[in-house]
Amino acid sequence: QNDNLLTALAVDRDGFLNVAWVAGTQPWHAPVRFGPSVFPPGASVAMAKQQPDLLTALAVDRDGFMNVAWVVGTQPWHAPVRFGPSVFPPGAPLAMANQAPDLLTALGVDKQGFLNVAWVVGTQPWHDPVRFGPAVFPASP
């Protein structure tokens, strides 16, 4: 969460988020589980800096809800918190990027093939996913 620290998150075979990190050119630290087991094995995880010292991760749980986990500086990670309605296939991929200096945006395709956008301004709570446009993407089985 600083210029000398690289962090990676992944979901393990038991559905837990795991964090691994490296400082500078030191060896990588082995993955460490955190939070509850709520994700399908290997679920996609999107990560982005929400604020200069705030790293955010999003993933879709087994029940189709978006979940947000975050870390401030080098403190411990906060366990995932689900938000919004259950509209996504379990473990669905999400994309995240800074849309503006104080606006972090996430996109994902719901079970019916619609694109959905969720966003956060500053450090306020995340806005629930909102579908937009036509259903042009493959629907989830």
Token readout for 48 is 């982005």
- pLDDT value at 70 more than 80: yes
The DSSP letter of residue 52 is: T
Q: Which residue has the tokens 């301004």?
A: 121
How far apart are alpha carbons 25 and 55 in whole angstroms? 20
Question: To the nearest whole percent, how much of the chain has pLDDT over 70?
Answer: 98
Which pLDDT score is estimated for 43? 97
Which pLDDT score is estimated for 1? 58
**Contact in structure between 106 and 85 (CB atoms under 8 Å):** no
φ and ψ at 95, to 5 degrees?
Answer: -120, 145
Residue 37's pLDDT band (cuts 50, 70, 90): very high
Diameter over CA atoms, the chain = 48
Residues 6+ apart with CB under 8 A from 6: 21, 22
Q: Which residues pair with 56 in a beta bridge?
A: 48, 70
Domains, the chain, in order of start with CATH, read: 5-132 (2.130.10.10)
Total count of residues recorded for the chain: 141
Q: Which residues pair with 6 in a beta bridge?
A: 22
Token readout for 55 is 């790293």
Residue 58's pLDDT band (cuts 50, 70, 90): very high
